[in-house]
A and B are shown apart, each in its own frame.
Chain A
């Protein structure tokens, strides 16, 4: 499965929760598959999906799922110790690990080579780290939500993209409707 297929499969789970979605194709795919006001689409700022999601989770009680990529986590490695040491049991970090920088032309990442993001997360002190295969993501994600324990999921999937349009929604509209979903 490629990332868009994983997102399509977990969309029915995501729609009931606050979602912070990574820059580029992941946001464009989620926007096309199942646009929800509770989705915060990142239009820039590679690497900060996990930081934004942790901030939202620490500030309120609803479940927050940050959808991140292996390349983006490598960009902001400092996020993992911060997450480990500031436990928010309403926070799930879902790293879609396809071993490549998908939005920029599928250049390989180190996560697709020798570096294990699950092992790094554990070494940083994250207590609930699950590595799964693409087809099992829905089940693992639902279990993590139900556990009410902060969980890092590393979903191993295939590299590959589909053609789709950019998001043209105004950033302040994205932010405003997301904040209304937080308050709802």
Chain B
């Protein structure tokens, strides 16, 4: 089974039916898998704070949401995470492509990578870092934890986890 299939299987097993995505090369496989699943309504967003608004609405409407995005989005969404997701106490699993880590070919990505964990820490967002494929064994438990405590939770997935950039 591919890692993308396993991730989306865990989403479905945890009742996630509404997924918004902002694309990333590393996340292309998992986004394709979300799109292919009948159990999930896939709604691409133009910006990550918009996506978090959609997820907040879907949660209040009775569907478990998730967002898939790059770590650069943490820079875009601080206000939304704080004044919407956290303030109204809503669950939000965030599957995040951790660009700018080992094996990164684009130098500018490192500029945001060095702030990613510090920002998440400052926001008191529980954060998990997937570096090896076996780290994803914990995803099911992380999702259960997210919907238990009604908080945004970050799952950072780096290039080593995804097997590098192929041609790099």
Write the residues of chain A forming the contact surface with B, with a CB cutoff of 8 angstroms. Answer: 20, 40, 42-45, 47-48, 50-60, 76, 78-79, 81-82, 86, 171-172, 174-175, 178-179, 182-183
Name B's A-contacting residues (CB within 8 A): 18, 41, 43-47, 49-63, 65, 79-80, 82-84, 87-90
* Chain A residues within an 8 Å CB radius of B41: 58
Taking each of B41, B44, B53, B82, which has the highest tally of chain A beta carbons within 10 Å of its own beta carbon? B53
A89 vs chain B, min Cβ distance (A) = 15
A23 to B94, CA, bound (A): 25
Cβ 8 A contact of A54, one of B44, B46, B54, B65: B54
CB distance from A49 to the nearest CB of B (A): 8
B residues near A59, Cβ cutoff 8 Å: 18, 57-63
A179 and B62 CA atoms in complex are apart in Å by 8
A51 x B53 contact (CB < 8 A): yes
CA distance A40 to B88 in the complex (A): 11
Contact, CB under 8 Å: A175 / B61: no
Q: List 26 A-B pairs, Cβ < 8 Å.
A: A20-B57, A42-B84, A43-B87, A44-B82, A44-B84, A47-B50, A51-B50, A51-B53, A51-B54, A52-B56, A52-B60, A55-B57, A55-B58, A55-B65, A56-B61, A58-B54, A58-B58, A59-B60, A78-B45, A78-B46, A79-B46, A179-B62, A182-B60, A182-B61, A182-B62, A183-B62
Quick one: which of B43, B52, B58, B87 contacts A82, CB cutoff 8 A? B43
Separation of A20 and B53 alpha carbons in the complex (Å):
11
Cross-chain contact B53 with A55 (CB below 8 angstroms): yes
* A40 to B47 Cα, complex, angstroms: 23
Please, which residues of chain B bring their CB within 8 A of the CB of A40?
60
- What residues of A have a CB within 8 angstroms of the CB of B82 in the complex? 44
- The interface residues of chain B lying within 8 Å CB-to-CB of A51 are 50-54, 56-57
- Asked, given contacts A58-B18, A58-B43, A76-B50, whether A48 binds B84 with beta carbons under 8 Å apart, the answer is yes
Can you list the 9 inter-chain pairs with the closest CB atoms, starting with the nearest? Answer: A55-B57, A59-B61, A44-B83, A51-B53, A78-B46, A48-B53, A52-B57, A59-B63, A56-B57
A65 to chain B, nearest CB (A): 13
A175 touches B46 (CB 8 A): no
- A60 and B50 contacting across the interface, CB-CB below 8 Å: no
Nearest CB of A to B86, in Å: 9
